Amino acid sequence: MGGDPRSDVYPGGIVDLSTSGRPGILGLESPLGAEDRLQLQRLSSSCAFSRLPGGSPGMGAISRFPVSHLLVTGGAGFIGSHLVDRLLGDGHRVTVVDDFDPFYDPSIKRRNVEPHLRSDRYSLAEIDIRDADALRRLPGEFDAIVHLAARAGVRPSILDPIGYQEVNVRGTQNVLELARERGIRQFVFASSSSVYGINPRVPWREDDHVLLPISPYASTKVSGELLGHVYSHLYGIRFVALRFFTVYGPRQRPDLAIHKFARLMLEGRPIPVYGDGSTRRDYSFVDDIVEGIVRSIAYDRSPYAVLNLGNDRTITLSELIALLEETLGVKAAVERHPDQPGDVPQTWASMDLATDALGELPRTPFPEGLRRFADWLRG
């Protein structure tokens, strides 16, 4: 995306500013200097916290925070667009950075942002996060960053490990540099359950330091968490890494299993199944993930935290197919394939630490979430 970059991001508009096409755990205290601690205290005192139902005294869990200006990278995508829905609905100002990468049809993301562009509290900057200069030219002051932008997908990362490193590691460092240079003290990072890899001890806990990633994508997320610890330790940026577990729901990426299977089944075409159907996933409905992100924006218990966001329940691939058949009212024609490199046999989130940090989070029952996804797909 070349051309003459404009110098502003206009409310309700789009601007192109580009110039070219062992992690710590919850409660880990970083040895910050006095100035950094003071800045973190000022950030904390500026937030009006309210106790959540089910939260224990002293937890510091919050259900809302003052009206703010938030920078959301990847805000045109699946999870990002749902987060923007929520933030605008809560009265916040939102600036989104997204480059509409053609990993999947960019028109899908364009449709995601159409309603947002009608808000005078929303701005869209079409920037590749690898372009540090373009990020620096973003105008305005931001109270927090939610960094969702990434090159996604385990299997594609095996084919392009360097590309994933460039976007997910260098790009993340560019966004952290923006936070450092602008004095933005709250940074929420989208990590992934894939960092646990083939760790056999389930449910996976954030205080289990045995991370055994088996894909380039997973390794980039581990790197992002470690970069966050460095910037928290050195520059006083509160960094909250959220390990998402298999997010699904309306607007899900078309390459992901639930969306891909459902479309193929409705079209009467076979679904590709890798392995014998015994692999297990902890599926998380997108609204539940958004709730966890929103609470993390005002998290204030430590300078650095890593938290799981999942459902604490696993579903086998065979069970998923059977539930899709029931939900859609059609029979699946299964096309068997060998196991794929990079795929882990199971994911399973322990939610104990996230509940302690953020309060009891919603966990949409899987059949209900599938029904809501199917309603969107057919609508």
Domain boundaries, the chain: 14-248+286-312+349-364
> How much is the mean pLDDT over the chain?
87
Q: Each residue of 231-285: pLDDT tens digit?
A: 999 999 999 999 999 999 999 999 999 999 999 999 999 999 999 999 999 999 9
- Record the tokens describing residue 357, joined without a space: 């940090």
The pLDDT of residue 208 is above 60: yes
Alpha helix ranges (H) inside 125-187? 132-136, 154-159, 161-165, 171-182
Q: Each residue of 137-162: pLDDT tens digit?
A: 999 999 999 999 999 999 999 999 99
Is the separation of the CB atoms in 65 and 47 below 8 Å?
yes
pLDDT at 209: 85
> How much of the chain exceeds pLDDT 70, in percent?
83
pLDDT at 146: 98
Choose which CATH entry (3.40.50.720, 3.40.50.2030, 3.40.50.300, 3.30.70.100) describes domain 14-248+286-312+349-364.
Answer: 3.40.50.720
The pLDDT of residue 23 is above 90: no
Across 283-308, average pLDDT: 97
* Vertex 315: Cα angle to 309 and 321 (nearest 5): 125
pLDDT at 12: 44
pLDDT category of residue 34 using cuts at 50, 70 and 90? very low
pLDDT category of residue 64 using cuts at 50, 70 and 90? low
Distance CA 129, CA 150 (A): 9
- Record the tokens describing residue 162, joined without a space: 């360097």
Distance CA 313, CA 323 (A): 15
Active site residues per annotation: 217
pLDDT at 66: 83
Across 30-51, average pLDDT: 37
pLDDT at 290: 98
pLDDT category of residue 210 using cuts at 50, 70 and 90? confident
- 3-state secondary structure string, 348-363? CECCHHHHHHHCCCCC
